Structure 1
Amino acid sequence: MSNLFEAAGLDEGAPRPLADRLRPKTLEEVVGQDHLIGPKGPLGRMLAKGHLSSIILWGPPGTGKTTIARLLADKVGLHFEPMSAIFSGVADLKKVFDAARGRRAVGKGTLLFVDEIHRFNRAQQDSFLPVMEDGTVTLVGATTENPSFELNAALLSRAQVLVLNRLDDASLEKLLERAEVHVGRKLPLDADARATLRAMADGDGRYMLGLAEEVFEVAGDHVLDTAGLIGAVQRRAPLYDKGREGHYNLVSALHKSVRGSDCDAALYWLARMLAGGEDPLYICRRMVRMAVEDIGLADPEALHQTLAAKEAYDFLGSPEGELAIAQALIYLATAPKSNAAYMAFGAAKRAAKETGSLNPPAHILNAPTRLMKDLGYGKGYVYDPDTPEGFSGQDYFPDEMEREQFYEPFERGFEREISKRLAYWQRLRQEKSK
């Protein structure tokens, strides 16, 4: 129905958002994606050859996926057929494919643009394969989610994945300048407020132009400072989906910043996660893991600090309890690092799996019955505290198994002391075995 209105010119007087009015008319006007559409980019090379392959455009909202798809169709002379996976089903796909076959019969190709393509289920995604293979459609899919997780392998093998960047500060400034030319006056913000507006957009050009449109309407000719800007527009929640890839990317960034002893970066990622609505107790659980996996016995206090932070947050709640989490995070990031315990346990598990069900040596078995004593249970056991050194040097591995060293402490933090103890006990063990 909307296409009929457009064809009749009845939509010309309808109000259109500023972002739609500023939609690029050529690929050269698209900002922030030169790595794709430039002469050396994959799309630039395709267009130079006059042939467009099926592609998946993966990137954050407001980075130009729909615009690029529409302009590609114009550039190579294909009919542009848009659809959204949110509102379409199998019947809609069949109609689109049939129409594309009809165009193909008269020598006209079809660029099928599918927004939110990851919303289609496996069977719906598979339905694209035959029409892609025989050239009925050139598919351009758009997604904000990682295609590796959300799209079928068969579909990915037939389409090139192109990654769009979130718009940087310079690209967002270009859009603001275009908006000012279009409106015919300067955006009524001082320099700091203008920078804040770009920051609030979080790399989303469409969203930023929507904010700019609000500012034009609300402020009039009055120049707003940062406080005035924030009062005039709604602040956007950071782009962060706790159930999808953005969640795991920030978790990874937090963990690796701690492992890399960069407390400032760790605090930044913590703030990002909390601002995005992450459960602080989930962060505490991740920090406990960091304490035992990446710090271990190089600083045993790290585990106590993370558990104390969890207790403090339980007691205080947000936002006061978040400071306890930040304090523990700083402790973890600045602590000496060791994964010796982590590696030792892994080696021990592999040895246990390989050796099967070997019995403990008889001398370390309890003998609560006469029969067990007669069988030698507990015979020859030495009580370590009764020895002059507090160390007997007895063997506690199975009789059929050679002694192995799983734990090898590093010369870092408290593990230096542990290393000295182990070396001392090893020397005593050798002396007592003579």
Structure 2
Amino acid sequence: MSNLFEASGLESTAPRPLADRLRPQRLEDVVGQEHLLSSEGPLGRMLGAGRLPSLILWGPPGTGKTTIARLLAKRVNLHFEQISAVFSGVADMRKAFEAAKARRMTGQATLLFVDEIHRFNRSQQDGFLPFVEDGTVTLVGATTENPSFELNAALLSRVQVLVLHRLDDAALETLLIRAEEMERPLPLTPDARAAMKAMADGDGRYLLNMVEALYAQAIVTSLDPKGLAEAVQRRPANYDKDREGHYNLISALHKSLRGSDVDAALYYLARMLVAGEEPLYVTRRLVRFAAEDIGMADPNALVQALAAKDMYDFLGSPEGELGIVQATIYLATAPKSNAAYKAQKLAYSAARREGSLMPPKHILNAPTKLMKDIGYGKDYAYDHDTAEGFSGQNYFPDEMPREVYYAPKERGFEREILKRLAYWQKLREEKM
């Protein structure tokens, strides 16, 4: 269809979005990806050597993946062929490969650009392998998802993965300036201009779509941030609950809690809840954190985390989310210890290693005469009958030396536990 428009001369006069009209015509004009495109960047070095391998361009939406692919093909004189994993199937892939083979016979190589490549299933991804290996196509795939999770190992072993960054403030400002040079100054106060860049959330395409929406409204007075918010729609946060953004933010929340940075923890909690994360999922992670990273340094941490779960179950959103906030604050500011977590691992390891050793007979109950006759319960010392309330008897299996799993820290309530353990160990040694 596009060829018919071009042949009729209509292509140049057809309305085109501002983002398309501002699409860079040279790699040097691409903004925000200097770490890849500079002479010292990986793409800069590849182009300097006159060689372009198959690539995966991984980055957020609106960071220039499609543009870079087009300009790479132009720079190294490859025919640019594009398919989308959203709309294409096996028949489209086969047609692209056959066309590439035919061009190759005439001496023209092909760059096959596959948008949203992560949406192809495993067998479809395998379909690229022979054509990449024999050089029929130079594959350039674009994905917003982590290739480690979404692309199979066979394909990943045949490509280089390049990471594109979300556009920073300077890159977004460059796009605004280019738009104003093409059209006219934006009707924005300085604060509103900054707010627009923040609303774009690193997505250059979305920024230019907002600019176009402003131009379409023929606004004559400068808008402040509130007026801007009324004129254009904020970009939704980039967050998929079953994708990498989900795991990145819960990891950031967990590590901020562990690092006792209450403000960072609240920020990542807000990021997740504002983006639509299930509050009970977050609460489950807080409960786990309370036991894993605080433990006996503050036993009340687990109580607080479970109370947040109960409050949310009782009130729901948004009222119940305050309980999750309170638990987050408590956990971030509590003393930290992973002694219980480490003790679990050591004890589990010993249990697997030692097998089915019997406990010592003196701590076994003897409900029958036979059990008494063979020594069950013999010489058991009832701790409450001792002066210290501590007998110091051995409770490990006779075939196993005494081991230490729990090593409390000098923090919070575990300081008191440490004193108790030291006292009991002293008594144990005296009674031996």
TM class by shorter chain equals over 0.9
| Distance (whole Å) between structure 2 residues aligned to residue 323 and residue 219 of structure 1 | 43
Partner of 2:62: 62
| Runs of 5+ consecutive residues of structure 2 not aligned to the other structure | none
Partner of 1:253: 252
Q: Describe the superposition over 1:35-92 as per-residue Cα deviations: whole angstroms up to 9, x where unpaired.
A: 1111111111111122211111000000000000001111111110011011111111
Partner of 2:362: 363
Partner of 2:405: 406
Q: Displacement of 1:270 after TM fit?
A: 0.6
Q: Displacement of 1:401 after TM fit?
A: 0.9
Q: 1:7 to 1:414 in 2, by over 3 A?
A: farther
| Distance (whole Å) between structure 1 residues aligned to residue 252 and residue 126 of structure 2 | 34
| Distance (whole Å) between structure 2 residues aligned to residue 309 and residue 401 of structure 1 | 42
Partner of 1:151: 151
Query: 1:237, 1:275 within 8 Å by CA — same for their partners in 2?
Result: no
The alignment covers a number of residue pairs equal to 432
| Distance (whole Å) between structure 2 residues aligned to residue 9 and residue 72 of structure 1 | 27
Q: Displacement of 1:427 after TM fit?
A: 0.8
Q: Displacement of 1:135 after TM fit?
A: 1.4
Q: CA RMSD in A?
A: 1.2
| Distance (whole Å) between structure 2 residues aligned to residue 323 and residue 176 of structure 1 | 39
Q: 1:170 to 1:114 in 2, by over 3 A?
A: same
User: Is residue 177 of structure 2 the alignment partner of residue 161 of structure 1?
Assistant: no
Partner of 1:52: 52
Q: Displacement of 1:219 after TM fit?
A: 5.1
Which shifted more, 217-226 or 342-351? Answer: 217-226
Query: 1:383, 1:392 within 8 Å by CA — same for their partners in 2?
Result: yes
Residue 162 of structure 1 aligns to a residue in which SS? strand
Task: For 1:349-360, list aligned pairs within 5 A.
Answer: 349-360=348-359
- TM-score with structure 1 length normalisation? 0.97
Q: Displacement of 1:254 after TM fit?
A: 0.5
Query: 2:200, 2:234 within 8 Å by CA — same for their partners in 1?
Result: no
Q: 1:219 to 1:231 in 2, by over 3 A?
A: farther
User: Is residue 194 of structure 2 the alignment partner of residue 200 of structure 1?
Assistant: no
Partner of 2:176: 176
| Distance (whole Å) between structure 1 residues aligned to residue 14 and residue 379 of structure 2 | 96
| Distance (whole Å) between structure 2 residues aligned to residue 340 and residue 369 of structure 1 | 40
AA matched with 1:199: A
| Distance (whole Å) between structure 2 residues aligned to residue 286 and residue 206 of structure 1 | 35
Q: Describe the superposition over 1:117-154 as per-residue Cα deviations: whole angstroms up to 9, x where unpaired.
A: 11112221112122112211111110001111111212
AA matched with 1:9: G
| Distance (whole Å) between structure 1 residues aligned to residue 191 and residue 270 of structure 2 | 22
Residue 390 of structure 1 aligns to a residue in which SS? coil
| Distance (whole Å) between structure 2 residues aligned to residue 237 and residue 415 of structure 1 | 44
Residue 320 of structure 1 aligns to a residue in which SS? coil
| Distance (whole Å) between structure 2 residues aligned to residue 219 and residue 357 of structure 1 | 81
Q: Displacement of 1:32 after TM fit?
A: 0.0
| Distance (whole Å) between structure 1 residues aligned to residue 134 and residue 270 of structure 2 | 50
Task: For 1:202-217, list aligned pairs within 5 A.
Answer: 202-217=201-216
Q: 1:372 to 1:219 in 2, by over 3 A?
A: farther
User: Is residue 10 of structure 2 the alignment partner of residue 10 of structure 1?
Assistant: yes
- TM-score with structure 2 length normalisation? 0.98
Query: 1:166, 1:203 within 8 Å by CA — same for their partners in 2?
Result: yes
| Distance (whole Å) between structure 2 residues aligned to residue 428 and residue 254 of structure 1 | 43
User: Is residue 415 of structure 2 the alignment partner of residue 416 of structure 1?
Assistant: yes
Q: Displacement of 1:371 after TM fit?
A: 2.2
AA matched with 1:189: L
Partner of 1:269: 268
| Distance (whole Å) between structure 2 residues aligned to residue 169 and residue 76 of structure 1 | 31
